């Protein structure tokens, strides 16, 4: 990079998030990093998002029609001038040193292609228990022991502009999984580092239906990529958690078994449901320590529904994968860079 403080372009994709866009922009303006620009990539919002962004001095670019996060991010990146692109969703407020720490981590190791941030365990706007659930659940699931992950946490991440140009833009066809595919694309050549030094506070889904619908569609369309890569997202969608979701679904399906075969068979659904809890026992301990037993009971209920939704999504995706050649080839046209040669890596 050309200087100690290379220009960072903070790209904020936005669609109808007027309630949080102002705090998001102000948090970027309050960063300790001295050299940055703000580009709001508005995806044809119908609220007053554009007026808010312009009133705060941000540069605003707009998509020709509502097209999704991938198109908005690509447009913002195309209009950015920085050597580093820092993408942050408009419903998230960065910690004051988030950009500075991300730049430092990128500069420290050329093998690091992207640095992702970690959401705080508390929501940005504390106006409902579901938001409290989602903030705690997402924070805990994102924790990873070594910081290197094979997927992209797209709500808050920094990437060198030359790496973004090398790998190509987000795939605009993938409305539910563009960040998932892009993370696999990056990890073929570089490290993706998830760091607690890059933090932000997110405003999660406010309705259970909206959350479950999003999780279902995201889980379903990831099946073809899982089939290609044959690996889970280490530190997030781990094997035990996947089994926990399957156990929850099987436990529900097994509830009629004691009725048909006798009371002694009640141990089957009980064991499956208990296994679903054990699969993420550490998370439940974490929640109990932070919020107490009453909230833990609520958390258990919501997470049970989340586990059912994830298992159903993967099942639906698997059936679609078997039935549809087009679905099996959903990711075939995505740019796939060759793995980075070992001799090209900088050691030390």
169-206 residue pLDDT tens: 999 988 888 998 999 899 989 999 999 999 999 999 99
Tell me phi and psi for residue 278, to 5 degrees. -65, -30
Mean pLDDT (the chain) is 91
Please tell me the distance from the alpha carbon of residue 333 to that of residue 171, in angstroms, as a whole number. 9
pLDDT digits (tens, 9 = 90+) for 113-154: 999 999 999 999 999 999 999 999 999 998 876 688 888 999
Q: Is the pLDDT of residue 343 over 60?
A: no
Name the 3-class secondary structure at 103. Answer: helix
Average pLDDT over residues 269-285: 94
Strands 92-94, 191-202: parallel, antiparallel or unpaired by DSSP? Answer: antiparallel
Is the CA virtual torsion 153, 154, 157, 160 positive or negative? positive
Of 298 and 338, the structure prediction assigns the larger pLDDT to: 298
- What is the pairing mode between strands 156-160 and 84-88? antiparallel
| pLDDT-based confidence at residue 1 (cuts at 50, 70, 90) | low
Task: Classify residue 176: in a domain, yes or no.
Answer: yes
3 assigned to some structural domain: no
Torsion of CA 28, 31, 37, 38, to 10 degrees: 0
**DSSP single-letter state for residue 237:** B
**Residue in this structure with the two tokens 């290379």, named with its chain if needed:** 6
Confidence (pLDDT) at 240: 77
Domain CATH for 74: 3.90.550.10
Task: Using alpha carbons, select from 285, 56, 103, 240 the residue that is nearest to residue 40.
Answer: 56
Rg for the chain, CA atoms, rounded: 21
Total structural domains in the chain?
A: 1
User: Which two three-digit tokens encode residue 43?
Assistant: 């995806």
Domain membership flag for residue 129: yes
Please check whether residue 268 lies inside any domain of the structure.
no
- Lowest mean pLDDT, pick from 1-5, 273-277, 302-306, 338-342: 338-342
* Residue 82: pLDDT over 80: yes
CA distance 73 to 294: 40
Residues sharing a CB contact under 8 Å with residue 220, sequence separation 6 or more, in sequence order: 176, 313, 314, 316, 317, 320
pLDDT of residue 344: 35
Question: What's the pTM?
Answer: 0.91
pLDDT of residue 333: 73
**Is the residue at 308 inside a domain?**
no
The confidence band for 336, taking pLDDT boundaries of 50, 70 and 90, is low
Residue 97 counted as domain residue: yes
Task: State residue 339 phi and psi, 5-degree precision.
Answer: -55, 140
The boundaries of the domain holding residue 144 are 8-204
- 204-220 pLDDT, tens digit per residue, is 999 999 999 999 999 99
So what's the pLDDT on residue 146?
A: 66
pLDDT-derived band at 234 (thresholds 50, 70, 90) equals: low
Answer whether residue 100 is part of any domain: yes
Cα-to-chain-centroid distance, residue 148? 15
Which pLDDT score is estimated for 176? 87
In the predicted structure, residue 56 carries a pLDDT above the cut 50: yes
Q: What is the pLDDT of residue 242?
A: 85
Give domain status of residue 293, yes or no: no
92 DSSP 8-state letter? E
| Confidence at residue 279, expressed as pLDDT on a 0 to 100 scale | 92
> For the segment 295-335, what is each residue's pLDDT rounded down to a tens digit?
999 999 999 999 999 999 999 999 999 999 999 998 887 76
Checking if the pLDDT of 227 tops 70, the result is yes
- Are the C-beta atoms of 70 and 171 separated by less than 8 Å? yes
Instruction: Check residue 2 and give its pLDDT.
Output: 57
- Per the CB < 8 A criterion, the answer to whether 59 and 123 are in contact is no
pLDDT over 70 percentage in the chain: 92
């Amino acid at each position: 990079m050309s200087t100690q403080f290379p220009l960072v372009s903070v790209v904020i994709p936005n669609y109808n998030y007027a309630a949080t866009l102002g705090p998001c922009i102000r948090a970027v303006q309050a960063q300790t990093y001295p050299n940055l620009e703000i580009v709001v990539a508005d995806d044809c919002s119908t609220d007053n998002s554009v007026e808010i962004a312009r009133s705060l001095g941000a540069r605003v670019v707009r998509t020709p029609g509502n097209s999704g996060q991938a198109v908005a991010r690509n447009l913002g990146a195309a209009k950015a001038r920085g050597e580093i692109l820092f993408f942050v969703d408009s419903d998230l407020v960065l910690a004051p040193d988030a950009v500075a720490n991300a730049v430092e981590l990128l500069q420290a190791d050329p093998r690091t292609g992207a640095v992702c941030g970690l959401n705080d365990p508390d929501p940005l706007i504390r106006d409902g228990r579901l938001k409290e659930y989602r903030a705690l659940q997402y924070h805990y699931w994102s924790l990873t022991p070594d910081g290197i992950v094979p997927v992209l946490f797209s709500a808050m991440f920094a990437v060198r502009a030359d790496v973004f140009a090398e790998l190509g833009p987000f795939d605009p066809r993938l409305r539910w999984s563009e960040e998932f595919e892009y993370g696999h694309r990056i990890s073929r050549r570089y490290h993706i580092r998830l760091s607690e030094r890059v933090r932000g506070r997110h405003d999660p889904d406010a309705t259970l239906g909206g959350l479950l619908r999003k999780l279902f569609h995201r889980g379903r369309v990831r099946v073809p990529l899982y089939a290609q890569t044959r690996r889970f997202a280490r530190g997030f969608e781990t094997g035990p958690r996947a089994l926990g979701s399957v156990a929850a679904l099987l436990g529900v399906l097994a509830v009629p078994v004691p009725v048909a075969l006798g009371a002694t068979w009640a141990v089957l659904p009980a064991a499956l449901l208990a296994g679903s809890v054990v699969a993420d026992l550490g998370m439940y301990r974490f929640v109990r320590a932070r919020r107490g037993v009453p909230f833990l009971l609520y958390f258990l209920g919501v997470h049970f529904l989340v586990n059912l939704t994830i298992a159903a999504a993967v099942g639906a995706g698997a059936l679609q994968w078997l039935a549809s050649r087009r679905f099996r080839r959903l990711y075939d046209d995505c740019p796939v860079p060759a793995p980075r040669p070992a001799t090209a890596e900088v050691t030390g």
